[in-house]
Structure 1
Amino acid sequence: MKLKDRVALVTGGAGGLGQAIALRMAGEGANVVICDINEQTLETTRAMLEDLGAQCLALRCDVSSSAEVNAMFEQIDARFGTLHILVNNAALVPDKPHDDERRKRHYALVTQPLPRQSLEITRHMDDAQWKRFWAVNVDGVFYCTRAALQRMEPQAYGKIINIASIAGISSMGAHSPHYSAAKGAVVAFTRAVAYEVAGANVQVNAICPGGVLTPAFEHYLGQQSPEQLSVFKQVLPLGRLGKGEEYAALVSHLASDECYLVGSIVNASGGTYI
């Protein structure tokens, strides 16, 4: 119960990795706030958290809107009075059919003896794609961090964990330049803010996951041929994706008082990027 009586906010906490993190924090004794744009899964996850004995506040919030973020933090104040832990998990990920095709071309290029060639991505990207990824994945992290620090710095205590990606520190991932740029910005933001606020006893760190074995990813893998799965696994030294519970355990440690890390960017990719 190393997070007993702490108040933790997990953005994008209604499903996938966010849900796994929220459940882990509840299991460690925290009271948990989750926000998401999917109201149905919000209620499902809220019930799961309360079954673990946690007090839970489930809020619909689009983190790309500073107004919605500020309103959410006002509701957190009204319910719990403060915030001790922020996990910036909400993000857009490349999960459309054209992203799948791009992913396959990329993996083929790094695992097979093909002639060198361009993946032809950036020159075809439109403004809307770029701006939407930036709004959620970067602006959202900034808005939530700013609001959290307005509470953490005066109380001289806080933990902020940003969920970046190996796409932000390497050429691996789904190879989506807009996603990589956004996650790279999260990495740089983490280091800058960590240095800024460490003197106020607020610790800021980030993890860079590789693939996460969410239900959606399991569904995706189930649609691939044996040959495609073989190519995919060649870029994974452990031969498998990381489980949500494994990533959640790392986040829980970073959120605890057992953690001495400040400004660290933890490469949690199972060796995909070394």
Structure 2
Amino acid sequence: MTLQGRTAVVTGAAQGLGKAIALALASAGADIVACDIQDDKLADLTEEIHTLGRACLPVRCDVSDPVAVDQMFAEAADWFGTVHILVNNAAIVPSSPADTERRNLHYAYLTTPIGRRSLGITSSLTDEDWLKWWDVNVHGVFYCTRAALRYMEPQRHGRIVNISSIAGMSAASAHSPGYSAAKAAVASLTKTVALDVAGANILVNAIACGGVLTPPFQAYLDNATPEQKNSLYQMIPVGRLGTPEEYASLAVYLAGDNHYLAGQIISPNGGAVI
């Protein structure tokens, strides 16, 4: 139980990667503050964490609202005394029909012998297409980080794990320029905050995920043709997506004390970006 006595805030905790991380942290001994906007799934997660013998405070919170974020951390401190760990996982991902169409266009372009041309993705994006990524994916990370540091700095201890993406470090998600830019911003924020707070024994790092077999990605695969699936897997040397549990094990490690990592962007991605 390497995280015994620690309290961890996990955003976007109700399903997918966030749920896997919350359960893994609880299995390692941490009590959990589970943040999401899906009340029914938060209730299910809370029950699962209780079966692991850990406490769980479910909080409905939109991380793009700074007032709601501050209230969540105040409630967490009321329940558990303080916060030791923050996992900034909440995000919106490219999953709309237009996103899927652009994704398939991009994958086909990379994996089939067709003539070189502009894909026309960036020039066709609307202001809404661009702006929709920032409130949750970037501003939410900042709001939660700021709130967590107000507890971590006085106690001179903390761990922050940001969930970024290979989209922010490569052209792997050229089908979604706004999402890619937002995840790059998370990686950059990770580095600057890490330098700011490392002297207070607060270690800030990021996981730049490759493909994660979450519900949105599973939904894409369920509706994809065999050719579209093959195009995706052809770009991943190990030939499959990572499971949420594989990523969660790294989050637990970064949340603990047995490492010397600060400001690092670690990318489990099956060789998709080397």
Q: TM-score, normalised by structure 1?
A: 0.97
Query: Who is 1:233 aligned against?
Result: 233
Q: CA deviation at 1:174?
A: 6.2
Asked if 1 retains the 8 angstrom alpha-carbon contact of 2:95 and 2:220, the reply is: no
Q: How does 1:141-220 map to 2 (within 5 A)?
A: 141-173=141-173, 175-220=175-220
Query: Who is 1:33 aligned against?
Result: 33
SS in 1 for 2:208: strand
Amino acid at match of 1:182: A
Deviations 1:157-213 (A, max 9, x none): 000000000000000036301000100000000000101100010000001001111
SS in 1 for 2:58: strand
Aligned residues: CA RMSD: 1.1
Amino acid at match of 2:35: C
Q: CA deviation at 1:132?
A: 2.4
Query: Who is 2:69 aligned against?
Result: 69
Query: Who is 2:8 aligned against?
Result: 8
Unaligned runs of 5+ in 1: none
Unaligned runs of 5+ in 2: none
Q: Structure 2 CA distance, aligned partners of 1:191 and 1:217?
A: 28
Query: Who is 2:221 aligned against?
Result: 221
Q: CA deviation at 1:77?
A: 1.1
Query: Who is 2:250 aligned against?
Result: 250
Asked if 2 retains the 8 angstrom alpha-carbon contact of 1:94 and 1:174, the reply is: no
Question: Number of residue pairs matched?
Answer: 274
Q: Structure 1 CA distance, aligned partners of 2:98 and 2:127?
A: 17
Asked if 2 retains the 8 angstrom alpha-carbon contact of 1:166 and 1:208, the reply is: yes
Asked if 1 retains the 8 angstrom alpha-carbon contact of 2:100 and 2:220, the reply is: no
Displaced runs of 4 or more, over 4 A: none
Q: Structure 2 CA distance, aligned partners of 1:130 and 1:220?
A: 21
Identity %: 54
SS in 2 for 1:110: helix
Asked if 1 retains the 8 angstrom alpha-carbon contact of 2:61 and 2:68, the reply is: yes
Q: Structure 2 CA distance, aligned partners of 1:104 and 1:53?
A: 44
Q: TM-score, normalised by structure 2?
A: 0.97
Q: Structure 2 CA distance, aligned partners of 1:84 and 1:184?
A: 25
Q: Structure 2 CA distance, aligned partners of 1:78 and 1:244?
A: 30
SS in 1 for 2:133: helix
Q: Which one is further off, 157-166 or 129-138?
A: 129-138
Q: Structure 1 CA distance, aligned partners of 2:252 and 2:118?
A: 40
Q: CA deviation at 1:118?
A: 1.7
Q: Structure 2 CA distance, aligned partners of 1:133 and 1:221?
A: 22
Asked if 2 retains the 8 angstrom alpha-carbon contact of 1:167 and 1:175, the reply is: no
Deviations 1:217-272 (A, max 9, x none): 22321222222221111001100000011000000000011121000000111111
Amino acid at match of 2:70: N
Q: Structure 1 CA distance, aligned partners of 2:190 and 2:234?
A: 31
Asked if 1 retains the 8 angstrom alpha-carbon contact of 2:95 and 2:216, the reply is: no
Asked if 2 retains the 8 angstrom alpha-carbon contact of 1:69 and 1:143, the reply is: yes
Asked if 1 retains the 8 angstrom alpha-carbon contact of 2:106 and 2:174, the reply is: yes
Asked if 2 retains the 8 angstrom alpha-carbon contact of 1:99 and 1:174, the reply is: no
